Amino acid sequence: MPALLRGRRWARGLLGLAGGIVALAGALLALDRALPPDLSRLEAVGRVVVDREGRVLSALPAPGGVWRLPVSAEEVPRALVDLLVAAEDRRFRWHPGVDPLAVARAALGGLRAGRVVSGASTISMQAARLLEPRPRTLRSKAIEAARAVQLEWRLGKAGVLRAWLTLAPMGGNLEGVRAGSLAWFGRPVERVGVAEAALLVAVPRRPEALRPDRHPAAALAARDAVLRRRGAAALPVAEREAARAEAGRAGDGAVPWARRAMPGLAPHLAREVAGGPMAGASAGVVRTSLDAGLQRGVEGVAAAVLAGLPARGSVAVVVADLRTREVRALVGGDWLAEGRAGAMDLTRAVRSPGSALKPLLYAMAFDRGLAAPGTVMEDLPRHFGDWAPENYARGFSGRVTAAEALRGSLNLPAVALMEALGPLRFASALKALGAVPRLPPGTGPALPLALGGVGITLRELVGVTAAIGDRGRAGALRVLPAGPGGEGAAPVLRAGAAEAVAGILVQGFPGGGPAGVAWKTGTSWGGRDAWAVGFDARHVAGVWVGRPDGTAIPGATGRGTALPVLARVFALLPPAPRPGEAGERAVARAGVVDGLRLLFPPAGAVIGEGAVTIRAVGGQRPLVFLVDGVPVAAGGARREAGWVPPGPGFYRVTVVDAAGAAASAPVRVGGVPGVE
């Protein structure tokens, strides 16, 4: 019986203890919920924008101008965390936020000496103080201890390390090892050496007294103390020897004597993506599709060009991968130059493209059989309703091929093609290519689209041009890396038509430059916008030069002002020349790709009453040419035949090959002359 009573008492005791533990846990949980730690400083961070390889492009400060950049223990070298733990909190891995042994040691030392001789602050307690700074009092210490346990409970060891690494003061307005590494060493924290890591651990102890730029000797001593007496003990032998060698190579040269400027490549794009979707190891790192080396080179070219521009003149540049449409370099203007509207991203400014859209117009005309590179067209004075367009040089060239008209940027043939194609169809193609047309209020698509009568941005123009260089595929430019399948895009043009136009545009740069680049220029009315776009086999690029306020730069043209810049940009890229396919070679290639087709006259053409040369491409020879079902002379092994219309009227021209394939086009003889 006594044993049974003892058992019952023991059971009741266990139940009481368990109840007490549950009650205590409940009370602590309620207290934690009632008084949660303030993590706002940890979340109020700046952004780091990196390129496609993770190289830093730009850093943007946190609100208030503080350089507080987030970082986690997984992102820094292992030696940095090892040095931190060894120097500041050797038992960090096992204590719950407060180290009882360190507290006891500090208390005994203080009693014996009558003053504080050693601290008991753990990394967790330091993180609590960094999150919620307080005066250095015993009461504050008690609160920090409670918060440290709370942080360990909520965030775990990794979260506590993240807080310390992000918030540790590095002197001045620098916080965290990422900002410290960029400012003191000019490199990402991921790439610091052991001695540099030791300095980052040492400075937060007395951030103003140990600033390397103001107190280099003190900073050097503190760093060496971390390496010799504390931190180095935590390192493997090989790393310890490497750290000593690194620290001793240049005497005190391993300690920086000046603070470096924060990286600031691609400032317009950095601010664009900083508030958008994030990609990277932490929420504060944004990975873009840019190439840091190319970006630096393009910015150098732009700076040299800006030096030679008149007041308020500016330049914008976009370079992208032709297949993926990933932007590799982007210059939005002269950053923060007030007179040049430097804060405005001019790659997104809506401007008039002049003749820079003509390649798309010709590609669509080739695609629909309205013309081909060898088609003879008339560059002569002509009215389109009440409109009588002129060429930029005011003169006329007479009869030219379509290839010559495109290379020479002649206006009359382009407007004639727009009339045959239809402005609405052209505007729809622009929209499909990601360039929604901006038209004057209350108007719809009209013939002036052929000469730049539409608003477009440089980014959109580069995207449209990329479709010509990429076998007719649509695809919007992207500044974040493409995921799997990022190259998949619907074609808006037949490959043969796009390649024919690309071949026509492959020509040497007038002032010299890389070979095998297809290019086109454009100048808006009054010289307000000078454009040049081009592509080789791997990249597409575009340049805009003008004034952000829309006023003209006297004498500025696409060919004379923007094209030399484009040549310098392509000189920065690895050579990837395209084959040139101008004139009849382009005609032949288009014929092979697209099968039997009538090149001239195109469907719906209005031609004069003189002799006409009917031309065809593709198909299996011999060819037979017919007009209204009646064979005409020549043909056979040749791909053309002469025909003299008997008089004005409507006719159907047909070609039949040896395999029985046929192509035909209705035409009109007489009336207003059109293409020929």
Residues 641/633, Cβ–Cβ less than 8 Å: yes
* Helix, strand and coil percent figures for the chain, each rounded to 5: 45, 15, 40
| Interatomic CA distance for residues 83 and 580, integer angstroms | 61
Which DSSP category does 670 fall into?
S
Residues 393/345, Cβ–Cβ less than 8 Å: no
| Interatomic CA distance for residues 505 and 579, integer angstroms | 10
Residues 309/74, Cβ–Cβ less than 8 Å: no
Catalytic residues: 88, 355
| Interatomic CA distance for residues 216 and 252, integer angstroms | 8
What token pair was written down for 64? Answer: 């208030």
| Interatomic CA distance for residues 513 and 566, integer angstroms | 9
State the burial class of residue 344 (Cβ atoms within 10 Å of its Cβ: 0-12, 13-18, 19+): middle
| Interatomic CA distance for residues 540 and 226, integer angstroms | 51
List the Cα angle 41/46/52 in 5-degree steps: 140
- How many other CB atoms are there within 10 angstroms of residue 56's CB atom? 23
What token pair was written down for 558? Answer: 């696409």
Angle, in degrees to the nearest 10, between helices 78-88 and 123-131: 100
Q: Which stretches does DSSP call E strand in 296-370?
A: 314-321, 327-331
Name the 3-class secondary structure at 350: coil
550-576: burial string, b at 16+ Cβ within 10 Å, e else: eeebeebbbbebbbbbbbbbbebbeee
Which DSSP category does 379 fall into?
E
Residues 227/190, Cβ–Cβ less than 8 Å: no
| Interatomic CA distance for residues 627 and 632, integer angstroms | 7
| Interatomic CA distance for residues 273 and 345, integer angstroms | 13
What token pair was written down for 562? Answer: 């923007």
Sheet holding 285-287, edge to edge: 56-60, 47-50, 285-287
- How many other CB atoms are there within 10 angstroms of residue 225's CB atom? 16
State the burial class of residue 63 (Cβ atoms within 10 Å of its Cβ: 0-12, 13-18, 19+): exposed
What token pair was written down for 656? Answer: 């039949």
What token pair was written down for 392? Answer: 């930029």
| Interatomic CA distance for residues 436 and 459, integer angstroms | 12
Residues 505/583, Cβ–Cβ less than 8 Å: no
The alpha-helical segments, DSSP class H, found in 122-215 are 123-131, 138-167, 176-185, 194-202
List the Cα angle 45/51/56 in 5-degree steps: 50
Give 387's strand partners: 384
- Which value, in Å, is the radius of gyration of the alpha carbons in the chain? 36
Name the 3-class secondary structure at 250: coil
